[in-house]
Amino acid sequence: MDGRKVTLYDVLDLPRDSDATAIALAHRRARADLERETTAPDARRAALVHEAFEVLSDPGKRAAYDRSLNVPHEIVLPGGRSVRPRWAGLFAGLVVFCAAAFFTLHKPAPPPAQGGNARSPEEILASAAFSVGYVQAAEISGHSRPVGLAVAIDEGVMVTTCHGLAANAQLTVRLTARVAPARIAMVVEEHDLCKLLVEGAGSRPLALSGETPRVGMPVYAITFGNDGQVARPATIKALLPTPKGNVIEISAAVPPTASGGPVVDTGGRLVGIMTTPHAFGAGRNVALPAAWLNNPRWLSTK
């Protein structure tokens, strides 16, 4: 870096004038590079990449960070002569340290699902890129067959739909370029949801949405296409009553391979888990509510 201070822009290999789309794509590339490493990902590097995206993708935090980069390291005296006092560097360092401490210790809650803090589809994908993976079951022949998707809700903990999973199945989850072994840790038959413990997934968990799903609410269905993950815009069409509580009908199509995949709000938080096949009628695209996961037993690694 030619002796200059490494910035969060450098972490993502971005120019200072990058827009939100460029930041989201650079974050996704950086995370992909980490996942492609043959050894365990560099935790410090991963933390820097995460912090860079969290700061630079938020207009308010980015503006404050940019101001911290512009603190003068020298004082200009009358006549144009400049000096670098002994305390100037210390002052600049203190400002940067305080900014970093502020972002670390006072991170705001996730942005609300509606309003001006809604994320773009690119940002939604960048946030979910390492939270969603293919679930595969090993056959006796040694081949693996896809059984759906799974979404990370905590470090090493993923959730998927249970149908199609045998109790003693040998499972793996493919996240980006990494394949990790998985095992079924909990089955909730009445909800058709299973908890998977996934070793070394390196996934970034999705936060649960605190907003009650409502008809007309805009959401994204995260699925996989020919070019990788896709964030399909949708709305909640209806809330379907069941003895266990309402399930969610969305306007986007849920292909058979998407069962277990996430539906997120416009802030990137988990609203529901897509399921197919189901018993709610042909032509309906259904997601099980994420509120069913709001229990400490889902987040336990036991």
Query: Residue for token digits 């996989």?
Result: 224
Tens of pLDDT, residues 215-271: 999 999 998 876 677 889 999 999 999 988 999 999 999 988 899 999 999 989 999
Pair 197, 156: CB distance under 8 Å: yes
What the block records as the tokens of 55 is: 């700061």
With contact defined as beta carbons under 8 Å apart, do 264 and 271 qualify?
yes
Six token digits for residue 187: 């089955």
The Cα-based distances of 53 to 11, 31, 50, 115, 182 in angstroms read 9, 11, 5, 20, 29
Structure tokens of 209? Answer: 């949405």
pTM: 0.63
Tokens (6 digits) for 293: 């996961």
pLDDT given at position 201: 60
- DSSP output for the chain: -TTSPP-HHHHTT--TT--HHHHHHHHHHHHHHHHH-SS---HHHHHHHHHHHHHHTSHHHHHHHHHHHT--SSEEPTTS-EE--HHHHHHHHHHHHHHHHHHHHSPPPPPPSSSTTPPPHHHHHHHHTTTEEEEEEE-TTS-EEEEEEEEEEETTEEEEE-TT--TT--EEEEETTEEEEEEEEEEEGGGTEEEEEETT----PPPBP-SPP-TT-EEEEEEEETTEEEEEEEEEEEEE--TT--EEEESS---GGGTT-EEEETTS-EEEEEE-S-SS-TT--EEEEGGGG-SHHHH---
Give me the tens of pLDDT residue by residue for the chain, a chain 302 residues long: 444 567 888 888 888 888 888 888 888 788 777 766 545 556 677 778 878 888 888 888 888 888 887 755 443 333 444 444 444 444 444 444 444 544 444 444 344 434 446 778 888 887 777 789 889 988 666 677 888 999 999 888 999 999 878 767 789 998 766 788 999 999 999 999 999 998 766 557 888 988 899 999 999 999 887 667 788 999 999 999 998 899 999 999 998 889 999 999 998 999 999 998 888 888 899 999 999 998 888 887 77
What pLDDT does residue 89 have?
A: 44
Residues 220 and 240: beta-carbon distance below 8 Å: no
Task: Please report, as a single letter, which amino acid is at residue 285.
Answer: N
Whole-angstrom CA distances from 83 to 3, 87, 88, 301 are 19, 11, 9, 57
Cis bond upstream, residue 262 (ω within 30)? no
- Comparing C-alpha atoms, which of 232, 234, 241, 242 is closest to residue 217? 234
Pull the structure tokens for residue 37: 């490493």
